[in-house]
Amino acid sequence: MDFQTPEDAVPSAFVTESNRRALSAEPPASGAWRPGDDPGDRRFVEIGRVPLERGDPLPAVTIAYESWGELNADASNAVLVLHALTGDSHLTGPAGPGHPTAGWWSGLVGDGKVLDPAEWFVVAPNMLGGCQGSTGPASLAPDGAEWGARFPYLTIRDQVEAQRLFSDAIGVTRWAAVIGGSMGGMQALEWAVTHPERVERLAVLAAPPISSADQIALNSVQNEAIRMDPGFAGGAYYDAQDGHGPHRGLALARRMALLNYRSPTELNDRFERSWQSGLSPLGGGGVFAVESYLGFHGNKFTRRFDANSYLVLTDAMNSHDIGRDRGGVAAALSRATARALVLGIDSDRLFPVPGQQVIARHLSGNIDGDVPTVLSSPFGHDAFLIEDALVGAQLRRLLDG
């Protein structure tokens, strides 16, 4: 579910002097991309009104996206890549104007890689409700003010409906593959069940068939951390001066989330009981290295994300139940016809392997029969973002078939 950058795989990178300098200023009230900011490599499509499962349609929706490669003559080479909770459309490429971090899947997208633009037309939209160019709480409502806390409740199905309208707008009626990890995996699964005729191949990476009570509980305490920040101001913080937005609550939510993205083994092996400063935490004044790691990533996160978007997107995750109003999980999954890869990670404590076992058991097109592919990795849930060689080999099995 995490949006990772290359330094996350390097134990010492978060304590470099350049990182300290870059993050020393007060964070903005919101890290959302806003009209007038440098678009970077983003492009934008207006998809009009989006009907919602609950409430009135959302008017005048924009989807931001990036793409690599060209759509071939018969439109048969399009691959939809759906990002995780805190991700965006920047799959590959450097950090720079418009893109606060480098691409989150650069090891898998590019020349000679599994998603090679010479072969595939790779499309990555920012999801509805996000904060990196697509319509979300930081966008202007019809009254000219930010939606803020007025932004409607979204479900995973609402987000997939927006992606369907986006697909129509760019001329893709059938995807050669829909690939998603974590929250993006929820959406990919929804694509295959809701629109089986439009999905040729499916990759569900580290995602569950439903959001469990445990996962909903984890989201609830993160959201409460944001709402309790005085700077949240009921969601109306966009005009606050730097340093007065809800960055403390958002950073705390991020720190909580990170504990579920990585495995206990990795954190223990990586940090042990070492401390970051010259003073031991046992004597006061110092901090353990793992505390410094969490603090760095919480601070960094506030500079590229929006607190209201975090609330909207975690609520959408909580809505996920592929079997809702469809006769249960098994009946729903039986609708999917795509050739499928279901991938789990043995150390994932956010969406553990039993969830992928349920999905694999009921997808008739699963390339491994009735079991998922399970990767062995110390990195926990985030392995699908870090283990490029392992994940790439499995995606190649799917795409080559």
Instruction: List active site positions.
Output: 182, 348, 381
Q: How far apart are CA 148 and CA 138, in angstroms?
A: 6
Q: What order do you get walking across the sheet with 43-50 strand by strand?
A: 43-50, 58-68, 121-125, 78-82, 177-181, 201-205, 339-345, 373-375
> What number of CA atoms fall less than 13 Å from residue 221's CA on the CB side?
11
289-307 as b/e: b if 16+ CB within 10 A: bbebbbbbbbbbbbbbbbb
What's the token pair of residue 293?
């790691």
Q: What is the DSSP letter of 292?
A: H
Q: What is the DSSP letter of 179?
A: E
Q: How far apart are CA 208 and CA 204, in angstroms?
A: 9
User: Element (H or E) spanning 78, and its range?
Assistant: strand 78-82
Q: Which of 131, 137, 140, 183 is closest to 160 using CA atoms?
A: 183
What's the token pair of residue 279?
């003073």
Residues 6+ apart with CB under 8 A from 182: 1, 2, 84, 85, 205, 206, 207, 350, 351, 381, 384
Beta-strand relationship, 339-345 and 201-205 = parallel
